[in-house]
Amino acid sequence: MGLPELKNKIQQQVESADEKILKIVSSVFDNYYKDEGTTDGIINELLEISENDYKEGLTEPYTKILKESKAIYFGK
């Protein structure tokens, strides 16, 4: 069974499911995304950390880092 067929089958099952099954399915999805971490969740978490670092003055301007990197790797 391919992905489109599987999605169609699940959609049909969800349409006829009772409340108990829907709660179970919802819980499975919630736990899966919490455990695995979605790309959006990871990106948002990293952005939040970066923003906090910036607010606390813990970051350096990228131009300074770029200049230092060029000096190290290209002698400029």
Residue 62 has pLDDT above 70, yes or no: yes
Identity at 7, one-letter amino acid code: K
- pLDDT, greater one: 59 or 40: 59
Write down the H helix ranges in the chain. 3-16, 19-36, 39-55, 62-74
- Cα distance between residue 51 and residue 57, in whole Å: 10
Tokens read off for 15: 């349409």
Q: Which pTM does this prediction carry?
A: 0.41
- Cα distance between residue 29 and residue 14, in whole Å: 13
13-51 confidence digits (pLDDT tens): 989 999 888 888 888 888 877 766 667 777 777 888 888
Tokens read off for 4: 């489109």
